[in-house]
Amino acid sequence: MASISSLFGYILNYIYNLVQNYGFAIIIFSILLKLILLPLSIKQQKTMKKSVKIQEKMKEIQEKYKNDQLKMNQEMMDLYKRENMSPFCGCLSAILQIVLLLAIFGLVRNPLTYMKKIDSEIIENYKLEMKQELGENSISITYPEISILKYVNNNKNTEDPLYINTNFWGLDLSNIPQENWQEPTVFIIPVLYVLTSIVSMKISTSMTNKKDNKDIIEIEKDKKNEKEESPEDMANQMNKSMSWFIPIMSVSISLVAPLGLALYWLVNNILMIVERLVLNKFINLKEEEQNG
């Protein structure tokens, strides 16, 4: 994970040197990363719509082989093969999201190491200097590099190689909500992130129509009495769990991590909402042209 954080750090630092602002650099970095992952997003959205369409066929297989679990599983797998789909395709996307989450978290947690590429010996010298000047408790155990960054920024020495302009429209992106809860402004970005997460999840669920939802519910009800679970059942359950697990985990982390991380997630959410709406409309138009 450190290698990915380091790679992202090179990119973020290059952007920062152009714009000279940590917040704007994170926004541009988020847009750039979303563009790089756009082909994967298009494939994921097409797969999601295709998955909804084969639910009726899955229901027919469920009813036809409800007394033969092995045959049902085989027919389900054959259906996915015919449709050129994998029941675990959504899981791969969720795993990628977790990898990105951890890599960005590492980058924002250690900006001096991954972004500024400061030698560890220099960082240790700053720690020693801070302890001598401000006391032993001046260095955060969880975010030592953030403590150093604040120390350098408070001295307003913009020529210091460790200096990063973290002021973003009056918000200090090096602040941590849990540690700076006395300042109400530290909750602005996390709250906006939560709101956009809710909107994003509602858009995702609304992409399946009522009929498809009813079919899925019926399939799940029919399978409640079955002792064995098919690979498709496990994949669906995993996808549903991931769709809730990632936002909940992200919200929790955003409250105990520097605001720069919450800003990245907020921008990513906004981009995701726009992306899903645009791609959904584009895919629907393509389908209409093919069917028309």
pLDDT at site 19: 96
Residue 272 included in any domain: yes
Mean model confidence pLDDT for the chain: 80
Residue 126 included in any domain: no
Count of domains for the chain: 1
Which stretch of 18-22, 87-91, 143-147, 160-164 has the lowest confidence by average pLDDT? Answer: 87-91
pLDDT tens profile 111-124: 999 999 999 999 99
**Looking at per-residue confidence, does 150 or 179 come out higher?**
150
pLDDT at site 286: 67
pLDDT at site 225: 47
Residue 53 included in any domain: yes
pLDDT at site 127: 93
Average pLDDT value for residue range 189-209: 79
pLDDT tens profile 212-256: 444 444 444 444 444 445 444 554 555 555 555 666 777 778 788
| φ, ψ (nearest 5 deg) of residue 229 | -110, 135
Residue 156 included in any domain: no
Residue 145 included in any domain: no
CA distances to 169, 208, 211, 219 from 56, rounded to whole Å, are 51, 13, 10, 9
Q: Are 29 and 11 in contact (CB under 8 A)?
A: yes
Could you list the residue range(s) of the whole structural domain that residue 72 is in?
Answer: 2-116+164-291
pLDDT at site 183: 86
Which stretch of 53-62, 78-87, 174-183, 202-211 has the lowest confidence by average pLDDT? Answer: 202-211
What letter represents residue 219's amino acid?
A: I
pLDDT tens profile 269-292: 899 888 888 877 776 676 666 665
- pLDDT tops 90 at residue 263: yes
Average pLDDT value for residue range 161-182: 91
Gyration radius of the chain's alpha carbons: 24
Residue 146 included in any domain: no
Residue 149 included in any domain: no
Residue 208 included in any domain: yes
Q: Are 48 and 289 in contact (CB under 8 A)?
A: no
**Looking at per-residue confidence, does 264 or 63 come out higher?**
264
pLDDT at site 220: 47
pLDDT tens profile 83-130: 666 656 666 677 887 888 889 999 999 999 999 999 999 999 999 999
Q: Label each residue of the chain as H, E or C.
A: CHHHHHHHHHHHHHHHHHHCCHHHHHHHHHHHHHHHCHHHHHHHHHHHHHHHHCHHHHHHHHHHCCCCHHHHHHHHHHHHHHCCCCCCHHHHHHHHHHHHHHHHHHHHHCHHHHCCCCCHHHHHHHHHHHHHHHCHHHCCCCCHHHHHHHHHHHCCCCCCCCCCCCEECCEECCCCCCCCCCCHHHHHHHHHHHHHHHHHHHHHHHCCCHHHHHHHHHHHHHHCCCCCCCHHHHHHHHHHHHHHHHHHHHHHHHHHCCHHHHHHHHHHHHHHHHHHHHHHHHHHHHHHHHHC
